Amino acid sequence: MVSESWEFYTAALGAMSSLATTRINQKLQSIPHSLAYQATADAKNVVIIGGSYAGARLAQRLTETLPTGYRAVLIERNSHFNHFFVFPRFGVVKGKEEAAFIPYDNLTKGAPQGIFQHIRATATEITPKKVKLSNGDEIEYEYLTVATGSWQPAPSKFDVLEKRDGVKAFQATQKAVEVAKSITVVGGGPVGVQMASDIKSYYPTKDVTLVHSRENVMNAFGPRLQGVVADSLKSLGVSVLLGERPSVKADGSSAAEKGQNVGPGSLVFRNGSQKAYDLVLPCTGQRPNSSILSHLLPSAIDPKSGQILVRPTLQVNPGPASEKTADSNTAASNRIFSLGDVAQTGGPRFARAARAQAEVVTSNILSLIQGQKEKLVEYHPAMYEGAIKLTLGKEDYVFCGRTADGREIMKFGKENASNENFELASAWKELRARLDTPTPIRTGWEERVAAFDKHKQRFNATWGTAR
């Protein structure tokens, strides 16, 4: 019988080698493209709003493929790329928070001159032909992509635009966690589970409670992963309260209403009982940043989820015809795409899915530029896009994916170097950023060497020093 680890490695290797081959081909094709592309003064704009996992990848792909006469314009309000994967841990562990913010300077390194412009601003409104910015400027577009993601309360995301304020917000959360004796994490999805597990494993004497509104933690995932997570929380000593949506009564603080970390105060449960706490960390309440489309295409925003409706081609779906929407606006929807967490794509709300969607959008914009509507491709989520790597405290992690027939397959890991370092180097590499942050980040090779050293130490501790 094939072992689960073997099955997992085979599936992961298949997905990774196919992605790597595609990337190598793209890189090779970008060489003749960069030689052929010529900057022109009247180039038409392909505008991207939002430069995170979806928008940053899209900017890179467009600058590798757009023909002469077009250029990519990225509008992003943040000073740095926020690498959210590390936010739960860096809200607990001190010292590496600088590295969660990756500079945009080299995002499109190697792209031909004149093909890319990065504008640091907030987009405030979209008209059929222009994007209006917070600084009063208006940017014309031929094609537009909305990759504005979602809002979440701190410490999942911080409501700040500058790296220095993000670093301060991390340090404030770390301090609040350090001094609190009793901490309640609200929300039993991946972020809440990681946060509660990290707090309890870095500070074993603290009283840590995880409150979740559903009957199982990780309810959006399969039953096996739910069981693994429940067992892990129990063995770490995290108290879990299910089926509860407590209201937060903070002592003299308005932070609760703003969805920020609060404390001290109490949680009020369904039956009226109360639990005192020193700190509450909200890990719920994701809200899509879709209001930017509310003037142009109000019916394109799903009233239930708040996400932007898209067609399988990821062009915006203008929604049911309404008197509020002018015909010219509906026509504009053919030139407007949406992807990532803000869009109702049918794919998982993960970075891998956002990147896969960037490929579909790139291909479809090129087809429209070439006047080949019949070549538009559709987005269908691949299995690997929904795979999750979940840390379960400082030493353990589980990687969970699904097979083609929907079975959950897992790989458990313990104390490997990448778990400590969160593969930060690969995130920096994706943005083509130089590893010159004040926080030391190990490269992939250094991580492997560190992992080997750790195994060697364990071997020596068990069997004596090798001679």
Q: Which parts of this chain interact with ligand FAD (CB under 6 A)?
A: 49-55, 75-78, 84-85, 87-88, 122-123, 147-150, 152, 156-157, 191, 289, 292, 340-342, 349-352, 354
Q: In angstroms, what is the minimal distance from the CB of 133 to ligand FAD?
A: 8
Identity of the residue, 37 or 101, whose beta carbon is nearer to ligand FAD in the bound complex: 101
Based on CB atoms, which residue is closest to ligand FAD, 277 or 350? 350
What's the token pair of residue 83? 């690498």
Q: How far is the CB of 96 from ligand FAD (least distance, A)?
A: 15
Amino acid letter, 192: G
Minimal distance, residue 148 CB to ligand FAD, in Å: 4
Nearer to ligand FAD, 157 or 335 (CB): 157
Q: In what order do the strands lie in the sheet with 44-49?
A: 116-120, 70-76, 44-49, 143-146, 336-338
Which parts of 59-100 are beta strand (E)? 70-76, 81-82
Which residue, 123 or 218, is less far from ligand FAD as judged by CB? 123
CA dihedral 317, 337, 385, 451 (to 10 degrees): -150
Q: Distance between CA atoms of 235 and 420, rounded to whole angstroms?
A: 20
Q: CA 462 from chain center: how many Å?
A: 40
Least CB distance from residue 135 to ligand FAD, whole Å? 11
CB contact at 8 A, 173 and 154: yes
Q: Least Å distance between CB 281 and ligand FAD? A: 11
CB within 8 Å of 279: residues ≥ 6 apart: 176, 177, 180, 182, 183, 184, 261, 262, 263, 264
CB of 459 to ligand FAD, least distance (A): 31
Give the nearer residue to ligand FAD in terms of CB position, either 105 or 453. 105
Residue 217 token pair: 């933690």
Return phi, psi of residue 48, to 5°.
-115, 125
Cβ nearer to ligand FAD, comparing 228 with 266: 228
CB of 85 to ligand FAD, least distance (A): 4
| Strand 44-49 with 143-146, pairing | parallel
Shortest distance (Å) from residue 144 CB to ligand FAD? 12
CA 152 to chain centre: 11
Q: Which is nearer to ligand FAD, 97 or 341 (CB)?
A: 341
Nearer to ligand FAD, 278 or 341 (CB): 341
Q: Which of 273, 269, 276 is nearest to 251 (CA)?
A: 276
Residue type for 443, please? Answer: T
CB-nearer residue toward ligand FAD: 292 or 441: 292
Residue pair 274/290 in contact by the 8 Å Cβ criterion = no
Min. distance of Cβ 225 from ligand FAD in angstroms?
14
Q: Are 42 and 140 a contacting pair, CB within 8 Å?
A: no
Angstrom CA distances, 454 to 5, 77, 111, 448, stand at 21, 41, 40, 10
What the block records as the tokens of 254 is 């308005």
Of 37 and 384, which has the nearer Cβ to ligand FAD?
384
Rg (alpha carbons) of the chain, rounded to whole number? 23
CB of 320 to ligand FAD, least distance (A): 25
Give the separation between CA 97 and CA 160, rounded to whole angstroms: 14
Q: Specify the residue, 48 or 266, whose C-beta has the smaller distance to ligand FAD.
A: 48
Min. distance of Cβ 74 from ligand FAD in angstroms? 9
Answer whether 384's CB lies under 8 Å from 347's CB.
no
C-alpha separations of 31 from 36, 57, 387, 406 in Å? 9, 18, 32, 40
- Cβ atoms of 286 and 189 within 8 Å: the answer is no
